[in-house]
Amino acid sequence: MILRTRGRPINIDNHIVGKVCRDFDNIDSDSILIWENDFAIDFNKIRFSCLLTTNENVVVNEQTRVVYKIPSLNHLVDGDIVSVGNDGNINTLYRANSFHNALLATERCNSNCLMCSQPPKDRNDIEILHDIHTRLIPLIPKDCIELGVTGGEPTLLGEKFFTLMNQLKVELPQTEIHVLSNGRSFAWNRLARRLGEIDNKRLMIGIPLYSDYYQVHDYIVQANHAFYQTILGIHNLSRYNQRIEIRVVLHKQSIPRLLKLANYIYKNLPFVEHVTFMGLEYIGYTPKNIEKLWIDPYDYKDELAEAVEYLAGKGMNVSIYNSTLCVLPERVWQYARKSISDWKNDYLPECSKCVKLDSCGGLFTWNLNKHSAHIRPFLKN
């Protein structure tokens, strides 16, 4: 799926954020007009914020902001929200027809996990991304069901993190907001309290926890004291009634103590709203660290089932994400969710024959080259 494209910019000084529109009857002065016809526009009669076109040439006045010679704009539908940069980059920020939209808060992070799917970048992107998100959020439809906030580590925005959380609550009061954070910043009680004061009942913080033993967790996230900070952060968040999800990524480092971790979660964090066990993504750092990480999901299916059933048996809300049905014991299929966002979800050729295709979550697109050796279609009797 294409989420960015590029063309040649004219008259663009700063980032433009707006909804794309192809229909002259629906555009307003904030719209980003997509124009793919070869006849001329009378720029004095039509108001729009920026023009995007695949045309090879355009003749415009000095005020009109344009990106031309874009290879294709077919991936954009009316209502999608994009940012247009002065370098001609057009990034899709929000897809009108998708339930899987997320704001990338920053690419900076204070951890450096062995299997990070989006390795941190040490550059200050906070100002620019925050500015873009501040303009994006009011444009998102009020009936948006769910919106993610990802990173990097979103709390590294500092004060801007709370501004963002506040704006999301005010502008999108009906939207479920799901923030992915390593939770370490909330070891500072005042930060957890700040979030609690925003008091958004639709806000969930998803926090990774990879082991019950601090050295294993710290090794996986490549940061000293991370375990203690994360556990303290989770407790502080709970103190201020923040909804919390625990995320456990399944790999060679986390599997050996998986049942102990489940036990730890039940004994020490029974207040969390959701625990999810997640298959490994073959992207980012994972291919580089594959020797340290890879276990065929078929080979950990029993440990996974035991951990899931243990927590479910204790009354906790448990899920399995990023896993295919054919490598899971049937008794835990009820916990398997179709969790992979549409734009990165794929299936193997043999899946087309499988009668479970509609209920199976499939694979990440980037896992098509690294998946269980035990994927087999369920065939009709």
Q: Which is nearer to ligand SF4, 230 or 323 (CB)?
A: 323
Question: Binding of ligand SF4 at residue 360 (CB under 6 A)?
Answer: yes
Min CB(218)–ligand SF4 separation in Å: 34
What distance in Å separates the CA atoms of residue 254 and residue 256, rounded to the nearest whole number? 6
Burial class (CB in 10 A: 0-12, 13-18, 19+), 154: buried
Residue number with CB closer to ligand SF4 (210 or 347): 347
Q: How far apart are CA 119 and CA 232, in angstroms?
A: 25
Q: Which is nearer to ligand SF4, 106 or 322 (CB)?
A: 322
Q: What is the Cα–Cα distance from 46 to 34, expressed in whole angstroms?
A: 13
Q: How far is CA 283 from the centre of its chain?
A: 14
335 touching ligand SF4, by CB under 6 A: no
Of positions 357, 365, 368, 370, contacts ligand SF4 by CB under 6 A: 357
Which of 137, 252, 354, 367 touches ligand SF4 by CB under 6 A?
Answer: 354
Question: Please, which residue, 87 or 350, has the CB nearer to ligand SF4?
Answer: 350
Does position 340 interact with ligand SF4 (CB under 6 A)? The reply is no
Burial grade of 357 (CB within 10 A; 0-12, 13-18, 19 or more) = middle
Number of residues that bind ligand SF4 (CB under 6 A): 15
Does residue number 356 form part of the binding site for ligand SF4 (CB under 6 A)?
Answer: yes
Would you count residue 320 as binding ligand SF4 (CB under 6 A)? no
Piece in contact with ligand SF4 (CB under 6 A), picked from 52-60, 299-307, 314-322, 373-381 = 373-381
Work out which of 326, 332, 336, 340 binds ligand SF4, going by CB under 6 A. 326
Nearer to ligand SF4, 92 or 367 (CB): 367
Which residues contact ligand SF4 (rule: CB under 6 A)?
A: 324-326, 347-348, 350-351, 354, 356-357, 360, 362, 375, 377-378
